[in-house]
Amino acid sequence: MYRPEGAYGRNRSTGGGAIAVERGSAPADGESVAQGAGAEIRPALRAAFEGLDRAGIAWCLLRGEDRLAEPVDDVDVLVAPADGTRVGPALRPLGWAAWPAWGRGSHRFYIAYDATEDRWLKLDVVTELSFGPAQALRTRAAEACLERRRPRGPLTLLSVEDAFWALLLHCLLDRATVRPGAAARLRQLAEAAVGEGPLARWIAAALPPGIELVTVVEHVRAADWPTLRALGRRIRARWTRGHPLEVGRRTAAALVLRRLTRLLVPLRRRGLTVALLGPDGAGKSSLAAGLEATFFVPVRRFYLGLYPTAAPGGPAPRRGLARRILRLWRAYLAASYQRARGRLVVYDRYTYDALLPVPRPLGRLARLRRWLLAHALPAPDATILLDAPAEMLHRRSGEQDVARLERQRRAYLGLRGVVPRLEVVDASRSGDEVRRTVTTVVWRRFAARLAR
């Protein structure tokens, strides 16, 4: 990206008519073109495919089966219309989160984080084979193509014939261009294309008069991409003229929903707030910067320490309780706006620092003041406590002695059971390892929020 387990059995739909494929069955005639047999697959993707199988969901890959070890784009999956609502429950226990998007036709997106490889993965699941920028050119061929799908090792793929026409339509109608990788794949698939199947019939009906399917295949074999791009424009125009109401309705709906996205995000895709706590030298600022650079959604950082930072060479400014709470609330409201826009808000420190013990006895008013500071803001959605040995903290910060850092460390660990939704993370590891761990924790919270 970006920044993209179980036994095999039968794969069949439980609703809308049975669609079954037996794993390990022999390839059909004309399917000698290699389609992913023995290809490497990322573990998270393999688990997702197995999860769909276990749920009895009828599915197949649309394309890109040779890039599942290092996917650089979405992984495109076709699912039976009757099974569309069952995909989320099947993938959720495996760490995949449904990512709301509007105005994308039948497209539904699922996101997962692979901490082992530090990679974001994205499934693009469709229940229709529709094409065009607004998915307005509807083929109604999805179920027929699923009937013809074929197993290849751990994968289920379109038949070679359907894979050829599906990829060609994707290039000509969705992208209006043919990328080098797609061009090579199309020429490979064209060797077995004979002009049969549901997508071939749809294209035959959409072709301008005087042009036949065999001509299209010949253009692909000859790598005549300019002619094919021009043909794609003619297919789109001819289908639109023949189906003006359907194309117009779907196009208008997509445009309206995309324009409403800014309003829909706060309702359905709110962001998350996470506070980073820990002694000096634990790596809070470095972690916040790492999350900002790598997290799936945009990240906004806010400093919510109780004591404002000093100007270079000068003492920290002193503020009264009211002004300090006002400063905290000003930052909190700005952060809430970013959260409402679907972003991850990272707080470097939080008001929970006021819960830590101080080295000197406090009077009643001082204790009340610290209690008010500690409870001045609502709790964040998640709190991460970075913990490391005092000797390591001293080597990193070099500002305080080991004994004092050890007292800080123990004080922070004492917040367990006091601060809600607190998770302790071992910060003695490398910054990259810590970031991966925290990313996993935060994404788990994000996924739980999206599932509500």
The pLDDT of residue 37 is 46
**CB contact set of 66 (below 8 Å; sequence gap of 6+):** 36, 39
The Cα–Cα gap between 145 and 266 comes to 37
The pLDDT of residue 246 is 95
Per-residue pLDDT of 347-385, as tens digits, reads: 999 999 999 988 788 888 989 999 999 999 999 999 999
Q: Counting beta carbons within 10 angstroms of the beta carbon of residue 84, is it exposed (0 to 12), middle (13 to 18) or buried (19 or more)?
A: middle
Amino acid at 268: R
* Positions of the chain with pLDDT lower than 70, given as ranges: 1-39, 267, 308-319
Phi, psi of 300 (to 5 degrees): -125, 135
Instruction: For the chain, report the end-to-end CA distance as a whole number of angstroms.
Output: 26
Tell me which residue of 138, 154, 150, 123 sits closest to 38, measured CA to CA: 154
| Six token digits for residue 359 | 């080295």
pTM of this structure: 0.84
The radius of gyration of the chain from alpha carbons, rounded to an integer in Å, stands at: 28
Give the number of other CB atoms < 10 A from CB of residue 236. 20
Q: Which CA distances in Å does 40 have to 45, 67, 70, 72, 235?
A: 10, 8, 9, 14, 36
Q: Which CA distances in Å does 9 have to 25, 180, 244?
A: 12, 36, 44
Angle between helices 321-340 and 364-374 (to 10 degrees): 10
Please name the helix (run of DSSP H) or strand (run of DSSP E) that holds residue 422, with its range, or none. Answer: strand 422-426
Domains of the chain: 43-262 (3.30.460), 271-450 (3.40.50.300)
**CB contact set of 243 (below 8 Å; sequence gap of 6+):** none
| Six token digits for residue 32 | 């000698």
The pLDDT of residue 401 is 87
The pLDDT of residue 308 is 60
Per-residue pLDDT of 97-154, as tens digits, reads: 998 888 889 999 999 999 999 999 999 999 999 999 899 999 999 999 999 999 998 8
As a whole-number percent, the residues of the chain with pLDDT over 70 amount to 88
Ordered DSSP codes for 75-99: EEEEE-GGGGGGHHHHHGGGT-EEE
The Cα–Cα gap between 409 and 387 comes to 7
Is residue 348 within 8 Å of 383, Cβ to Cβ? no
The Cα–Cα gap between 398 and 428 comes to 16
The pLDDT of residue 314 is 46
